[in-house]
Structure 1
Amino acid sequence: MKQLGDDAEALAANYLQSQGLSLLARNYRCRFGEIDLIMQQGSSIVFVEVRMRSQTRFGGAAASINVPKQQKLIRTAEHFLQQHGNQAPCRFDAVLLTGLNTNHIEWIQDAFSA
């Protein structure tokens, strides 16, 4: 399962890089949680949650980024910004991969806000 998640994150990182974003960090961890990808787009820092679901039952990949998960991501992002002394504008994006065929990538910019 971990390998599948790592593959999904690599696919998402490659996709976002092809869209002009730069990778700053992968699997950033602190006591509050983990952020899959931290990217930069222009002057903005983009915190990316990558979700893969084999099927769309139970709301699909997007539905799994619930309020408690969002709160963990926000606290982790705040920690990252404090550690790096960064005052850049930031946003939270989601990259959703649906189906076992991960050629379907959905990039949701500003998926939620802090």
Structure 2
Amino acid sequence: MKEKTAVKGQAAEVAARQYLEQHGLKFVEQNVRYRFGEIDLVMRDGKDWVFVEVKYRTHTQFGGALNALSSAQTNRIRKAASHYIQLNLIDAICRFDVIAADPSGINWIRSAF
């Protein structure tokens, strides 16, 4: 069961990347992992850097993908993004977006946290 969910999660990341590219963002990197956190997608929106968390849920019950992001997860993503910014010497505006995907479609929340 977990393997099916992982495959659907990967497909959601591909769909999220394509969706964002269709909306004018430029792809930089995917699945950036550090021991303390992970960034699903790194994109550019003009001069701004965008760190994207992709959430996929097969069911919309319990708030679906939109409500699947915990405060602990946001803290790990922030920590990973901070590390990424330092490693890549980024001196630009950065934001955190969420792509919430479920069978009904994709929701893009800009500046989600």
Match of 1:50 among 25, 33, 54: 54
Superposed structure 1 runs of 4+ greater than 6 Å apart: none
TM-score by length of 2: 0.92
Match of 1:20 among 8, 16, 24: 24
Mapped partners of 1:29, 1:105: distance in 2 = 24
Uncovered stretches (5+) of structure 2, i.e. residues with no partner: none
Which string of whole-angstrom CA distances, capped at 9 and with x for unpartnered residues, describes residues 40-71 of structure 1?
00111000000111112222112111111100
Which string of whole-angstrom CA distances, capped at 9 and with x for unpartnered residues, describes residues 21-51 of structure 1?
0011100011211111000001110000001
User: What's the secondary structure of 1:107's corresponding residue?
Assistant: strand
Residue identity in the other structure for 1:110: S
Mapped partners of 1:62, 1:36: distance in 2 = 16
Mapped partners of 1:31, 1:52: distance in 2 = 22
Mapped partners of 1:21, 1:97: distance in 2 = 18
Q: Does 1:38 align with 2:39?
A: no
Mapped partners of 2:65, 2:107: distance in 1 = 10
RMSD after superposition: 1.0
Residue identity over aligned pairs, in percent, reads 39
Residue identity in the other structure for 1:87: D
Q: Which residue in 2 is equivalent to 1:108?
A: 109
Uncovered stretches (5+) of structure 1, i.e. residues with no partner: none
TM-score by length of 1: 0.91
Residue identity in the other structure for 1:98: D
